[in-house]
């Protein structure tokens, strides 16, 4: 049911956001656990997934983002330096970096300032990611310079 969860529901997560951005999802029917041998510990559902065409042009960029869905009850503007979603992912490990420690700290500080600035610009700092709609996520991404047609 995570596939069809809507903003504000307990099951709403990154999976919900990504699948609903890329496809139309509809719940067809619920399949009880007694219909299987041996019966599983959970119920199942049959869903229809109809891909939206074409794929967003920045699909790879979207997949590389660490959307803040792990802490759905956290307010977006309350990020700190230890938050893993504030890490800059560039595919290199620390051994490949030829920067001094103070340069890395400056880069992290600049990145954090940019994120907080964009959240403030879009009036997202007091909002929770679990309450954002598809339109809100697309607007937030556009503030970061990631645009979909």
Q: Annotated binding site for S-adenosyl-L-methionine, which residues?
A: 1
Q: Is 132 exposed, middle or buried (0-12, 13-18, 19+ CB in 10 A)?
A: buried
DSSP state of 55: P
Contact by Cβ (8 Å): 84, 68: no
Q: Annotated binding site, which residues?
A: 1
List the beta bridge partners of residue 24. Answer: 50
List the beta bridge partners of residue 75. Answer: 128
């Amino acid at each position: 049911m995570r596939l069809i969860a809507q903003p504000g529901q307990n099951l709403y997560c990154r999976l919900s956001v990504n699948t609903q951005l890329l496809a139309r999802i509809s719940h067809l029917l619920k399949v009880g656990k007694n219909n299987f041998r041996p019966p599983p510990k959970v119920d199942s559902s049959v869903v229809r997934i109809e891909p939206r065409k074409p794929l967003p042009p920045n699909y790879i960029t979207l997949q590389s983002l660490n959307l803040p869905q792990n802490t759905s009850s956290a307010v977006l503007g309350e990020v700190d330096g230890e938050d893993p979603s504030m890490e800059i992912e560039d595919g290199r490990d620390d051994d490949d970096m030829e920067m001094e420690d103070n340069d890395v700290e400056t880069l992290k500080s600049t990145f954090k300032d940019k994120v907080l600035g964009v959240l403030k610009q879009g009036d997202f700092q007091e909002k929770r990611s679990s309450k954002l709609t598809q339109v809100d996520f697309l607007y937030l991404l556009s503030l970061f310079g990631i645009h979909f047609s």
